[in-house]
Amino acid sequence: MNFLKLALVSLFTITLIGCKKDGKTTDSSKDSLTAKRDSVIVPEIYKEYYGIYMGDFAGKGMVTSEDGEEYESDIYKKISLKINRITKDSVYGQSIVEGNQRPFRGVFNDATKSFILDEPGNDKTDGRFEVKLNSDSLTGNWNAFNKSAVKAPSKTLKLIKKEFVYNPNFMLNKDNDLIDWENPKNFVEKYTDEETGKTETYTASKNRVASDAVFKINASKQKLSEKDLKNLRKLDMEIIKNSVFARHGYSFKKGTYRNFFEQTDWYIPVSNNVDHDLSPMEKENVALLNRFIKYAEDKYDNFGR
């Protein structure tokens, strides 16, 4: 009997704790209801428009020539717009240009099939995209928030929807340009006049060049050994190593590597960190390549551009 009384008292006490004298819910009950309401997921719509749209990002701006002269010229870049989520009120995604990955948020107008997408604004390269959807393409414009901070403050976009796929068989095409245009180096050359026998010196600008080894060695498919690498040029090994990251959709900040992989039709930059996506063999190959790259030498040659 005493046990029954104790149980009833305990139940009554718990009831009092959960309610106020006026019959209203306590603060803890309110918090529970608020959390439940806030946890409701906003429905996503137009999922068929999700994905990566890639293409040209072009505008006019001031550039500086090798002799220091400034002039207006067309500026071309590659851009990726990734639409991640669309709700009734908002669109979420990111832009990637030259390895610079920026989130954006905006709205979608179903009547005009158009997006207005704003980057955060806390980076000098941020701006607003106004683009129209037509089947699997996006076309429109981008305008910088800070027009004085970028070379081309207004640009046009012509993008095609692409699907990212990792494929260990992806390689550079054999007709790809294997010249590193981003890092020219000056060399002192000698010239001897055949008639006078007089020798003169002059400075020549040369660029690094890779060999066709980059078409034969695949660090995503084969376990590399020191024997495979010992006679390769430094640029060869840099390309072989970075091909691993390119296959996983790494967004390169260095123009040297972007220029190589943007020549292919399979390279789709989707992330600025893909380390966790590499296979154990790829990680071992990258580590070995890094050891050899540290002490390797480059081959330079003269090229016009």
Supply the pLDDT for residue 35.
46
Q: Could you give phi then psi for residue 101, rounded to 5 degrees?
A: -100, 120
End-to-end CA distance of the chain: 100
Supply the pLDDT for residue 193.
79
Q: How many CA atoms lie within 13 A of 212 on its CB side?
A: 2
Answer for the pair 295, 171: CB distance below 8 angstroms, yes or no. no
Which has the minimum average pLDDT: 15-29, 41-55, 67-81, 274-288?
A: 15-29
**Which phi-psi region, left, alpha or beta, contains residue 295 (left: φ > 0; alpha: ψ -120 to 50)?**
alpha
Supply the pLDDT for residue 303.
77
Supply the pLDDT for residue 40.
66
At residue 304 the predicted structure's pLDDT band, cuts being 50, 70 and 90, is low
Q: Which residue has the higher pLDDT, 69 or 236?
A: 236
Domain topology for 47-162? Lipocalin (2.40.128)
Q: Which residue has the higher pLDDT, 69 or 58?
A: 58
Q: Which residue has the higher pLDDT, 222 or 42?
A: 222
Sequence spans of domains, the chain: 47-162, 179-183+210-301
d(CA 237, CA 214) in angstroms, rounded, equals 8
Q: Is residue 172 pLDDT above 90, yes or no?
A: yes
Q: Answer yes or no: CATH 1.25.40 is held by domain 179-183+210-301.
A: no
Q: Which residue has the higher pLDDT, 305 or 264?
A: 264
Question: Which residues are CB-contacts of 86 (< 8 A; sequence separation ≥ 6)?
Answer: 44, 45, 46, 47, 49, 50, 92, 108
Mean pLDDT within 118-135: 96
Supply the pLDDT for residue 19.
43
Supply the pLDDT for residue 66.
67
What tens digit of pLDDT does each residue of 190-217 get? 888 777 878 888 888 999 999 999 999 9
Supply the pLDDT for residue 90.
97
Paired sense of beta strands 51-64 and 91-97, if any: unpaired
Would you call 59 exposed, middle or buried from its count of C-beta atoms within 10 A (0-12, 13-18, 19+)? Answer: buried
DSSP H or E stretch at residue 124: none
At residue 10 the predicted structure's pLDDT band, cuts being 50, 70 and 90, is very low
pTM, to two decimals: 0.79
Mean pLDDT within 283-299: 96
Average pLDDT over the chain reads 87
Mean pLDDT within 117-143: 96
Q: Is residue 28 pLDDT above 70, yes or no?
A: no
Supply the pLDDT for residue 191.
82
